[in-house]
Amino acid sequence: MEKILEVRSLCKTYIVNKRQNNVLKNVDFSIDKGEMLAVMGPSGSGKSTLLYTASGMDRATSGEIIFNGKDISGMSAGELAEMRLDNMGFIFQQMYMLKKLTVLDNIILPAIQSKKNTKSKKEKAAYGQELMRKLGIIETAGNDINEVSGGQLQRACICRSMINSPDIIFADEPTGALNRNASDDVMELLSKLNKEGTAIMLVTHDARVAARCERIMFIMDGKIKGEYMLGKMSSDANMRDRERALNNWLMEMGW
């Protein structure tokens, strides 16, 4: 299987009060094209730092990050920003959107900023509306962001992450601020995007969320302690079995 992301000997160190805090320690992993990977681990284990560093949002202290065959660890800040804008999508627990823009305008903003996306503004708006219709929030297009629910806003964030047709989506606790029903809806949407070919790397503390993923990576004290292969999810019918098997493995890992 062709790799979309390869991380080799990744280290991330922060200096706090003149003391070294080694958050990531020689981490190696890869993601196949079209794969859905969950990263789990206790609080402070380095999950989010791994996601931010692997995506180029944060600089690695050392190591290599190969994305689509290119080593991004040596790219300039401008090159990294352009690559993230054009080839990556991002979803966060905190749903950052500009208050002075409508929901639709927030969604299409990355397309407006992209040099690679050569569609007209009208075409970009039409695609944004198509994504919103697909995700069931088209009625909120003209609303301000404070006029929609948390679940609708997170769906809008997923639309925004898809607006430039990325090769991979990085999601940091994408369901952490949602109730169970909204969380299930968001994960169904992400699973659908994954089935259509978009690779996804998500950080979660929720085994129910991770059970929808193809592979789970467990990180502790800045090191990958183990991996568990669940395989592609065929239907919702086997969700309970997947969740049970994952919970058993997590207990073995010291969850």
Residues 91 and 177 sit within 8 Å (Cβ to Cβ): no
- pLDDT-derived band at 237 (thresholds 50, 70, 90) equals low
**What digits encode the pLDDT tens for the residues 17-51?**
878 888 999 999 999 999 999 999 998 899 999 99
Phi and psi at 239, nearest 5°, equal -60, -40
Residue 166 tokens, joined: 């990325």
For 98, other C-beta atoms within 10 Å of its C-beta total: 10
Highest mean pLDDT among 91-95, 190-194, 224-228, 235-239: 224-228
Tens of pLDDT along 101-142?
999 999 999 999 998 889 999 999 999 999 999 888 999 999
Which residues in 35-59 are b (16+ Cβ under 10 Å) and which e?
Answer: bbbbbbbeeebbbbbbbbbbbbeee
pLDDT category at 13 given cuts 50, 70, 90 is very high
pTM of the model: 0.92
Domain 3-253: CATH architecture, name and number where available: 3-Layer(aba) Sandwich (3.40)
Q: 132-157: per-residue pLDDT in tens? A: 998 889 999 999 999 999 889 988 99
Task: Read off the tokens for 94.
Answer: 């905190």
**Mean per-residue pLDDT, 83-88:** 94
Asked whether the predicted pLDDT for residue 15 surpasses 80, the reply is yes
Q: Are 54 and 65 in contact (CB under 8 A)?
A: yes
